[in-house]
Amino acid sequence: MGLERTGAAAIAAASHFSADEDGEAALRRLLADMLGEIELEGGEPPICRRGIVCRLPGLAVATCILAPGPTALRRPASSPEPHLLMVRSMDGPLVVAQGGRAASAAPGELVFLDAACPFEWHLPEGGRIDCARLPQSALRLSARRLAQTLLRPIPRDFPPLLLLVTYGAYLLMRSPLSAAEAELALAHFRELLPLVAAHLDAPSASGAALRLERVKAEIESRLSQPDLSAAEIAALHGVTPRYLQRLFQGEGTTFSRFVLDRRLAAALRMIEQPDERQTISAVAYAVGFGDLSYFNRAFRRRYGVPPSALTSGRRRSASAPPAR
């Protein structure tokens, strides 16, 4: 099967590709149509598996499924057209490099970049990537403000971004069938763009605080892992270990100190539970301590008493006769 088109060709063209049906060359053409002439490397062949693109006057949106595994996409040449690209990776982190700068985005986070300049995208896990191409004027920003929006990830759960993604999915799944419908869809998409970019007007610390909260929640869910590391958490959130450490330094602590404090707090909660069958060693291992002696020392430094003092006190309270 060749190229499949839905909708009115004069209004919009939604083109569907499959590596099985059209070959990888068709999928490369899809990406080249959006991004210009590109270089792709990595992943098991075919690197491009499936894709779909929808084109409207002044807007093109696409999604493409890449092979699993580390994948790099490069466009080494410049382009004379003053367009913007919007990109996000859905199945893993994304690193975007352009003009000597780089941005790391977690799955689902959106990044703007200048379509006129060479760029590189690195996807350590491959998978699905969504992108859009539109004139720079669509954001209705001054040149200075526009430059400030580039290479700054926007959280995936930011409400205007959620709406924008919904419209993008609508265009891909069902091309507009009339000029009026196409104009309406394009108008909604463009109205949302300044709201999405407005997230970046907030102090950068707010974005860092939001990311730090997500990192903390991730750590809480993995406290039982004795080998929990900053490198592992950083990879899960698409940032470098060094950046992760800077997030904690902003709160006057470190990754290791935060993990230790949360493990000790979890251990205290477990020890205070009325369960006489629960041993100190079981508690220590349950919250990620691999060394019982270290756990005892750290607990005493933190709470002023060894954990055994709390368990023995709990047993005495449980065995005391009821008050008369």
pLDDT for 17 equals: 58
The mean per-residue pLDDT over the stretch 87-105 comes to 91
Domain boundary residue, one of 153, 180, 201:
201
Burial of 243 (0-12, 13-18, 19+ CB in 10 A): middle
Task: Give the Å distances, CA to CA, from 122 to 23, 61, 125, 126.
Answer: 23, 20, 9, 8
Return d(Cα 312, Cα 198) in angstroms, integer.
Answer: 57
pLDDT band at 21 (very low <50, low <70, confident <90, very high): low
The mean per-residue pLDDT over the stretch 253-269 comes to 93
Written as six digits, the tokens of 127 are 């998978």
pLDDT band at 5 (very low <50, low <70, confident <90, very high): very low
With H, G, I as helix, E, B as strand and everything else as coil, classify residue 115. Answer: coil
* Tokens 């590189």 -> residue: 120
Written as six digits, the tokens of 249 are 């330094």
Q: Tell me: do 156 and 247 sit in the same domain.
A: no
Domains of the chain: total: 2
pLDDT band at 276 (very low <50, low <70, confident <90, very high): low
* pLDDT tens per residue across span 279-321: 899 999 999 999 999 999 999 999 899 988 886 555 444 444 4
Q: Tell me: do 125 and 264 sit in the same domain.
A: no
The mean per-residue pLDDT over the stretch 37-46 comes to 79
Q: Tell me: do 195 and 216 sit in the same domain.
A: no
pLDDT for 165 equals: 87
Domain boundary residue, one of 178, 201, 224:
201
Written as six digits, the tokens of 94 are 């994304």
Burial of 310 (0-12, 13-18, 19+ CB in 10 A): middle
User: Could you write out the DSSP letters of every residue in 47-102?
Assistant: SEEEEEEEEETTEEEEEEEEEES-EEEEE-S--SS-EEEEEEESSS-EEEEETTEE
Q: Tell me: do 99 and 131 sit in the same domain.
A: yes
Q: Tell me: do 27 and 160 sit in the same domain.
A: yes
Q: Tell me: do 171 and 65 sit in the same domain.
A: yes
- Identify the CATH number of the domain in which residue 24 sits: 2.60.120.10
Return d(Cα 172, Cα 16) in angstroms, integer.
Answer: 9
Return d(Cα 2, Cα 36) in angstroms, integer.
Answer: 22
With H, G, I as helix, E, B as strand and everything else as coil, classify residue 254. Answer: coil
* pLDDT tens per residue across span 187-206: 888 888 888 877 666 545 55
Q: Tell me: do 197 and 213 sit in the same domain.
A: no
Q: Which of 164, 167, 285, 166 is nearest to 224 (CA)?
A: 285
Q: Judge whether residue 32 has pLDDT over 70.
A: yes
pLDDT for 120 equals: 94
- The answer as to whether 39 is a domain residue is yes
With H, G, I as helix, E, B as strand and everything else as coil, classify residue 301. Answer: helix
pLDDT for 314 equals: 53
pLDDT for 189 equals: 80
Written as six digits, the tokens of 191 are 């109205």
Q: How far apart are the first and last CA of the chain?
A: 87
Residue 256: which domain range?
A: 206-319
Return d(Cα 255, Cα 207) in angstroms, integer.
Answer: 18
**Side chain identity at 15, as an amino acid letter?**
S
Domain boundary residue, one of 151, 179, 201:
201
**Residue predicted with more confidence, 314 or 119:** 119
User: Could you write out the DSSP letters of every residue in 128-160?
Assistant: EEEEEEEEGGGG---HHHHHHHBT--B-TT-HH
DSSP letter for 201, please.
G
* pLDDT tens per residue across span 168-180: 888 887 766 677 7
* pLDDT tens per residue across span 140-149: 878 887 887 8
**Residue predicted with more confidence, 99 or 314:** 99
Q: Tell me: do 132 and 15 sit in the same domain.
A: yes
pLDDT for 207 equals: 66
Backbone angles phi, psi at 224, to 5 degrees: -70, -10
Burial of 312 (0-12, 13-18, 19+ CB in 10 A): exposed
Task: Supply the mean pLDDT for the chain.
Answer: 81
